Amino acid sequence: MMREGANAMFCCVPPKGVNIISVTLNNNEYPLISIGDRVKAIAVNNLTIPKNLEEYNISLVVNDQLGEETAYYSFNISDRVFPVVELDRLSPGVTDVTVFWIIKGNLTQLNLLCQVATDPGSSAELSCNSVSGLCKTKLEHLLPNTHYSIRVRCSVNGKLWGEWTQPKSFATDVLVTLDIWRRINQLSDLNSRQVTLLWTPYAPGSATMVNIQGYIVQWWREDQNWTLKNDTRQTQANIFIGPGQYNVTVQAVLHTGLSIPAHITIPQRDDGENLPVEKQVQQ
């Protein structure tokens, strides 16, 4: 069986006294290669499957002293195709990766089925009927900041599978989340309160060392908002607010940008702010 996209050599051994002058494949004549005294061959690079695939019927007739017997066999040439796949590129996210691959040869008219697998384990099976031969899919539910390798293989109608591509390594992006608490102190001025914010960063995974460069604290009510930038690794900040309800967010500053905001609400003055209240952000 020949694989789509492979290089092949076809040889002919004629009877004695017969000289081969040309060899044609798919209506194309190829230069002859002499191998030994009588053997001729042609070299075909990048084999392609004809667009109009046909059903082939073979009959075998056996004749001996007991009589004649005929056997029949039919097959479609598409059932003998091993697609050759090349990984094109990867686009990783925090918990997913988008994979692009190319199916070599003229197979766009076939019903192609492809498998994409990562190590550690995640996999997907999907149809690929791209006219250009470029296919893609997104694998989700990966772990953030984690090393993976990925490979792809394809088949026609899920029957004969081509070889897996060589594994390609990648790492998912960093994810930093913050658990945040607050402590409210009423000041002597009844219209002023001091809120101490405390937070703990959490960065799962070990593919990349996480470097937090600072934090940004924002708080607002109605049409007013304030921002406090903390360029140190200190995980607390004091802000001063009035008696109303406020919304507060804290974000870590990374070399790739900002983390997901951690949010907390400060109730209005008569909601028992003198008691420390613990709030944990749901991930």
The CATH number covering residue 103 comes to 2.60.40.10
| Whether residue 188 sits in one domain with residue 160 | no
Indicate the SS3 state at residue 74.
Answer: strand
| Of the residues 154, 171, 188, the one at which a domain ends | 171
Beta carbons within 8 Å of 124's beta carbon, 6+ residues apart: 115, 116, 137, 139
Confirm if 253 and 217 have CB atoms less than 8 A apart: no
| Whether residue 236 sits in one domain with residue 163 | no
pTM above 0.85, yes or no: no
Is residue 159 in a domain? yes
| Of the residues 143, 171, 199, the one at which a domain ends | 171
| Whether residue 190 sits in one domain with residue 163 | no
Helix (H) or strand (E) holding 110: none
Distance (Å, whole) CA 87 – CA 111: 19
Amino acid identity at 267 = P
| Whether residue 142 sits in one domain with residue 113 | yes
Is residue 29 in a domain? no
| Whether residue 191 sits in one domain with residue 162 | no
Amino acid identity at 115 = Q
| Whether residue 257 sits in one domain with residue 220 | yes
Is residue 68 in a domain? no
| Whether residue 165 sits in one domain with residue 98 | yes
Structurally, how many domains does the chain consist of?
Answer: 2
| Of the residues 171, 187, 205, the one at which a domain ends | 171
Beta partners for 103?
85
For the record, the structure tokens of 217 come out as: 């604290």
The pLDDT profile of the chain, 283 residues, written as one tens digit per residue, is 556 567 777 777 766 766 666 777 666 777 888 877 778 788 878 766 555 555 655 555 555 566 666 666 666 666 667 888 999 999 999 999 999 999 887 776 677 889 999 999 888 898 887 777 889 999 999 999 999 999 999 988 777 889 999 999 999 999 999 999 999 998 988 889 999 999 999 999 998 889 999 999 999 998 899 999 988 778 999 999 999 999 999 999 998 889 999 999 999 987 454 544 455 655 5
| Whether residue 159 sits in one domain with residue 219 | no
Domain that holds residue 209: 177-266
| Whether residue 232 sits in one domain with residue 182 | yes
Neighbours of 217 (CB within 10 A): 20
Alpha helices in the chain (DSSP H): none
Is residue 54 in a domain? no
| Whether residue 262 sits in one domain with residue 206 | yes
| Whether residue 133 sits in one domain with residue 108 | yes
Is residue 3 in a domain? no
Is residue 6 in a domain? no
| Whether residue 149 sits in one domain with residue 182 | no
